[in-house]
Structure 1
Amino acid sequence: MKIVAVTACISGIAHTYLSAEALENAGKALGHQIKVETRGSIGAENVLTEREIREAQVVIIAADLSIPKERFKGKPVYEAGTHEVVNKAGEIIEKALKFSENYQPGKETMTAPKEAKAESAEPQGDGGKNVIWSEIYRHLMCGISYLIPFVVSGGIIMALSFAFAESNPEIAGILGTIGDLAFGMMLPIMAGFIAQSIADRPGLVPGIVGGFLASGVTASGFIGGVLAGFIAGYSVQLLKKIFRFKGGLRAMMPILILPLFSTLITGIIMLFVIGKPVAIVNDFLTNWLNSLSGGSAVVLGFIVAAMIAVDLGGVFCRVGYAFAVATLATGQPSVAMAAAMAGGLVPSTAIALATVIMPHKFTDDEIEAGKGCWVLGASFIVEGVIPFAARDIKAVVPAVTLGAGVTGALTAFFGCTQSVPHGGIWVMPVPGAIGNVPMYLLSVAVGVAVTVGLTAVLKKDVSPKMSRTQRKAQKAEAFQ
């Protein structure tokens, strides 16, 4: 069988490529021809050709955000989240092929409901509600995935401006202007791409305009930006049903009629309905977060960091990360963001260390995989732990979750802050990117120690204890 697939995660870094690799390996193991297009942070790679799509029996979309499906018109499309595909790629492929066997042309695209549980394109009962919420979540994550580069760039540039504040005020002013602009664009971009995810290109203009109203005129902040995106997208969808023109007027729909009226609708709702109430709520939340200290901040730090680790890139991780990123919307360094990223440094790093000091608790394959976890951990990528959790979830997941949580609590206790939402240890040399670096690193070290200690207690031995020299000698003997 010939299969084509597209993978895309929120950040475009880890799950995009892990899910692609999982599909390729599972496809080959099952005897199928498969090509996977990745839509990562550097753009589309290994792009599918028209011929490859035409010859494929089924299209698999492993994505946590909305992917345009126009080029798959007339083909059976099976959707699942990247986290599912990483863990159950073979099962997803088999279900996708079964879905394609029952496919009957008649609609532009038939898409299996997310979570890869239903075989029908028409969800029933409570499943329909789950699909609706799943789609809302995916539209939101699509917008956030486009927001992240603006926050990263703006945050680093702003941090550099602080570094030059005393030595060269002129350069600091230039960098500050650029950084402010990048930060100022993040809500319009997020809102625009939420709307585009819902309504394709006609949603982009009203979404961006609504986002600007949220960030500037109404001061409704992140919440207002999210609402602006959904209002814009669904207003376009409503207008498509109201205006059913034919001929020349139909051609004007996407470039004039839909953007014009949806922008007016979005603008009016943002100005007179959404703006002020949301601004009040946003100010309250901002002031509350800024006022957190002592026990409250520690609890917040623990929860956010634990969410990053508990499902290793799954729903809880994304929600916790999105919350942390949202706290950067004010343009100020964030305690929550520091807790989130410090906590995210723990899982892969701790497992890598555990494979070194406790090799008797890991298989040879896991020990080899642990070598790559050093880089993944340093880069704020928790997905390196997935192969270990798949083999021993009862030991690994509690260990990394509690270790990350402890780290998040400590960073909050020490008042560590962060102004960029990604980058791991590689952004530490940037002045101002992370506040209170020594305590930040100490917090990570303590969390790693907690995870390693819990792993030692919870994880059973898989081979006899022996020194590193003895293990090397055993491998050499087996090789001969």
Structure 2
Amino acid sequence: MEKILNTKNIFLDEKLVDQKSVFEFIANAALKDKVISDSEALINGFNSRESEGSTGFEDGFAIPHARIKEAKEAAIYVVRLANGIEWNSMDGKPTKVIIALIVPDGKNDEHLAILSDVAVKLMDSNFKKVLNTATDAKKVLEAFSAKKQVSKTKANKEGLNILAITSCVTGIAHTYMAEEKLLNEVPKMGHNIRVETHGSKGVGNAFSQKEIENADLVIFAVDINIDNSRFAGKKFYQVKVAKAIKDPQGLVTEAIENGKELSGNSKVSFNSNSKAGKDSVMQHILAGISYMIPVIVMGGIAIAFSLGVAKAIWGPESNTMGQVPLKFADVANGTIIQLIGGQWYVPESLDTSMINLLNINEYAMVENGFIYALNNDLTKGAQLLSEIKSQWGPLRTLEMIGSGAFTLMIPILAGFIGNSIAGRAAIAPAMVGAFIGNDAGNFAAYGNMLPVQTPTGFIGAIVAGLLVGYTVRWINTWNVPRSLAPAMPIFFIPLVVGLGISLLFIYVIGTPIGYVMGKFGEAIESAYTGKGNVGVFLGLGLGVLLGAMASFDMGGPINKIAFVTSSALITQDITQPMGALAAAIPVAPLGMGLSTIFFKKFFTPDERGMGISAIIMGTIGISEGAIPFAIRDPKRAIASNVVGGMVAGGIAGALMVNNFAAHGGPIVAILGAVPYGWETVYFFIAVACGTTVTVLMYGSWMLADAGKPGSVKENHVNYLAKIATNKKDNISEINSSILKLKGEMSALRKEEKLTNKDNSSKLNDLKIKIEKLNSEIVNEKNLYKEAKLVAKTSYKEASKQEKEFIKSQRSGIKEFVANSKENYKKELEKLNSNDFRGNKLAMIENKQNKNLAKENYLNSINNDQVKRREKYVQMYNSKLV
């Protein structure tokens, strides 16, 4: 520690106003000390880490950290602020002490060891007190350098032998903070404890088989799923890691009272005895999306770049092998080669590899051993072959890699949704089911339905992940013989559940969806091919329809219908549908991404990070970037995306924008697939208008729903969300208890069959408990309805009076805002008049003062509004249940 922290790295009572200014301050100090070679790289490193999750902890402390190649050596910088700032900390309080860690790229162990050591020090109240009150840097340095006194606790023969596993999402700080707390506090209760950590450094202090055999109680304090099958038969209790940090002795008491014997199979789902252990469908879907997003980005960029460059080099109709796809026309005679259901039908004497190399899309004619393109010239295949580029060229290879990533995208989404629900046993069957559902050629045709062409896409992946996940979770409740338990996750579950979900897609889910979607595609195609040249009004209408379809499910079945139909029409020289579709495709990801920038208060740091990814994907025509936002907030996000897509598609359709490439987004216009000239201008106007509509609609909707700061509506919305969450959590907890009781009943019935033992009394007691719990669910729903009704009545009365009062205060509000604005302008003029050229630190301080002036200006307006409305908020709150 002494090597990387000294007094010159410690800054006390600095006047910094936000996270950005803190990062800039530290980066400039590190650059001055020659710890790093590039200050921007360090700032980006800090921001990148924050996008993964806030580094703000409790009690006003934050530990930002960055591992960058521009770092010459490891270093710690300590910055204590004069005033606390917002850091999205875990307890919601302002952050005042920042302990920043800088580590050269590649020194992973050093990075994790230092960070974990600092996190553990934050468990020491004396350490935190020194950092909060020290008057000079030497005292802070002494606090960091102080060695921890390790006292060995003798084993207590009368106490319980407790094993605990700790793990947080990042596996760095809370993992080891929980370990420290448990090791310090549990021995005071007279019990013996061993803690196994599952962090970024791997498994620490792993339990031996003998320790597991001798354990009286096993505690999981974890935020991620960890296989607990090795503890089968042991008394088991699971909570979130925060519980172990905040109240370790209370956790042990709860575990002793409420722990249950773990069934003899692999089970990794959360124990719901504690509210910390509850989960939700949304949580599982978002977990799957977090694994899918890197695959989307990789595949999307690879495909868009390879296609874009190929079209820029060889023309808008070419592919990544430099070929122009053959088109079809009527033929009087000759052999017709036709593509049906994904299979080529050709004469036996013909070399089919030649057809694949030619990339024939629809039809071709064979005569005297030559393949002919069915166009007016009937060009000989031999001449075509001389122009074909290698299928192993760099652009073709890049496209293959991107296509491979997109093929994996859907199964990965399903697999990790299942994994979030029921652990690794659910991954294989969920991935297989989603893979089957993502290929329409796998669906069985029955009735009057022909083979379908539309896969179930990401909607099918969500269905597969949820069905498999909850099925496997249910299977994990079975009381199987211990000798069969190891075979369950590796044989029974993959085989039975995997076959079940696959058959469901093949015979039940796939064909009806594909058939209905196919009919939509045929309707769109006939609208263009049956009318000849599409007029402005028809183009507008069809563009609006295509735009809505592109934006509704963002890469799902409806989006794919529009895309496949428009792509097929390109082969008939009808390129306007793809022009309208290409303008609408990027609207959803661009709109959602920009919303996280312009309305950032409604989004978490993780969601703002996803917003940047969505913007990148939107630029290259990958609509899947908007999926996380549509799932997070379906009503507002999907509606805003669809309206924006309709605007973009309608404008492009009405202005007859053509697109010769089967792709979308600004990249197709940049690379010339949309003809350069006015059509390119129209295309970008359409995209800009559609995106603007989406951002404004979504942002305005969120603002309207949230209410103005300090208003009755804001309090009403927050209260309704609070009671809805409480109802959901309470019912979920009750349902978990019911499920456990039913499991106990099932075990008792099996015991009766095997041993002829009479368990009727116990079964009756369990039945009474279940009935009581069911009545509690009804009571929870009634209490929620009552509270909601009272809140609505109170809101109606208070908001009406608030509205009348604010209306009467308009002139005063305008005057206050005008005066505040004038004072802000004067402050800026004063700060701008200073000349700090050549003095970099003074320039930084001046910039910080400008930010502070702006913050004070905005806060003054906000505080004035809150103060004026305070009376009516109190009126609303006074009548709540």
Larger helix fraction of residues: 1
**Taking structure 1 as the reference length, what is the TM-score of the superposition?**
0.50
* More contact order relative to length (CA 8 Å, sep ≥ 6): 1
- Greater radius of gyration (CA): 2
**Taking structure 2 as the reference length, what is the TM-score of the superposition?**
0.30
